[in-house]
Copies of this chain bind each other. A is one copy, B any other.
Amino acid sequence: MAQWIWKFGEFEIYHNALVHNRRLQYGYREPPVWKIESPDSAVRFKKRVTTDGGEIWIYASGYFAVTVGTGYHDRNQYGGRSRITLEPGATEISITVSGADSFPCLFVDGVVSTDGAWSADNLTGDFSPVGTYLQFDTVSKSPAVFPFCREPLPYVRKEELEHGLLFDFGKETFAATTYLNTGDRLFVSLGESREEALDPEWSVIHFDLQPEDGTVSIPPQAFRYIYADDKTVEIHAEYEYLPLRRRGSFHTGEDIIDKVWETAAYTFHLNCREFFFDGIKRDRWIWSADAYQSLFVNRYLFLDRDIEKRTLIALGGKKPFQCHINTIMDYSFFWIISLWEYYKTYGDKEFLYHIHPQLREVMAFCRGRTDEDGFMRGKRGDWVFIDWAPMDKTGALCGEQILYAKALRTYADICGVISQFDEGCRETAEVLRRSIMDSFYDTEKRVFIDSFESGKRNVTRHSNILAYLFLPLSVQQKNDIYEHVLLNDDVTQITTPYFKFYENQVHCEHGNTTLLEQSIREYYGSMVHTGATTLYEEYDPQKSGVEHYAMYGNPYEKSLCHAWSASPIYLLGCYRAGVRNTGIAYDRFEVRPELGDLKAFNAVVPLPDGEVQVCFDSKQLTVRSTVPGGTLIFNREECPLPANRLMIRKLQ
A30 within 8 A of B: yes
A17 within 8 A of B: yes
Question: Cβ of A98: which chain B residues have Cβ within 8 Å of it?
Answer: 21, 29, 31-32, 36
Instruction: Tell me whether A28 and B123 are in contact (CB under 8 A).
Output: no
The residue on B at minimum CB distance from A381 is B125
Stoichiometry, as copies per complex, reads 2
Question: Cβ of A36: which chain B residues have Cβ within 8 Å of it?
Answer: 40-42, 98, 123
Instruction: Tell me whether A31 and B124 are in contact (CB under 8 A).
Output: no
A65 within 8 A of B: yes
Determine the distance from Cα of A42 to Cα of B20 in the docked complex, in whole angstroms: 10
Question: Cβ of A319: which chain B residues have Cβ within 8 Å of it?
Answer: 319-320
Query: With A27-B79, A63-B28, A79-B25 given, is the CB distance from A34 to B323 under 8 Å?
Result: no
A80 within 8 A of B: yes
Instruction: Tell me whether B380 and A29 are in contact (CB under 8 A).
Output: no
Query: With A63-B28, A63-B29, A65-B30 given, is the CB distance from A122 to B35 under 8 Å?
Result: yes
Determine the distance from Cα of A65 to Cα of B39 in the docked complex, in whole angstroms: 24
- A35-91 interface with B by 8 A CB criterion: 35-42, 63-65, 79-81
Determine the distance from Cα of A223 to Cα of B31 in the docked complex, in whole angstroms: 45
Instruction: Tell me whether B79 and A34 are in contact (CB under 8 A).
Output: no
Instruction: Tell me whether B63 and A33 are in contact (CB under 8 A).
Output: no
A96 within 8 A of B: yes
Instruction: Tell me whether A31 and B64 are in contact (CB under 8 A).
Output: yes
Question: Cβ of A63: which chain B residues have Cβ within 8 Å of it?
Answer: 28-29, 31
Determine the distance from Cα of A217 to Cα of B97 in the docked complex, in whole angstroms: 25
Option from B31, B33, B65, B125 in Cβ contact (under 8 Å) with A97? B31
Q: Using an 8 Å CB-CB cutoff, how does the interface string of A308-338 with B read, 1 for contact, 0 for none? A: 0000000000011011000100000000000
Instruction: Tell me whether B65 and A28 are in contact (CB under 8 A).
Output: yes
The residue on B at minimum CB distance from A25 is B79
Query: With A28-B80, A29-B80 given, is the CB distance from A123 to B34 under 8 Å?
Result: yes
The residue on B at minimum CB distance from A73 is B553
A26 within 8 A of B: yes
Determine the distance from Cα of A97 to Cα of B30 in the docked complex, in whole angstroms: 9
A371 within 8 A of B: no
Determine the distance from Cα of A27 to Cα of B78 in the docked complex, in whole angstroms: 11
Instruction: Tell me whether B29 and A35 are in contact (CB under 8 A).
Output: no
Instruction: Tell me whether B125 and A28 are in contact (CB under 8 A).
Output: no
Question: Cβ of A213: which chain B residues have Cβ within 8 Å of it?
Answer: none
Question: Cβ of A17: which chain B residues have Cβ within 8 Å of it?
Answer: 41
Instruction: Tell me whether A79 and B26 are in contact (CB under 8 A).
Output: yes
Determine the distance from Cα of A289 to Cα of B556 in the docked complex, in whole angstroms: 59
- A112-153 interface with B by 8 A CB criterion: 122-126
Question: Cβ of A183: which chain B residues have Cβ within 8 Å of it?
Answer: none
Query: With A125-B380, A323-B125, A381-B124 given, is the CB distance from A32 to B26 under 8 Å?
Result: no
The residue on B at minimum CB distance from A41 is B36
Instruction: Tell me whether A123 and B38 are in contact (CB under 8 A).
Output: no
The residue on B at minimum CB distance from A64 is B31
Please give me the 3 A-B residue pairs with the lowest Cβ-Cβ distance, nearest first: A125-B381, A28-B80, A31-B98
The residues of A with any CB-CB pair to B shorter than 8 Å are: 17, 20-21, 25-42, 63-65, 79-81, 96-99, 122-126, 319-320, 322-323, 327, 380-381
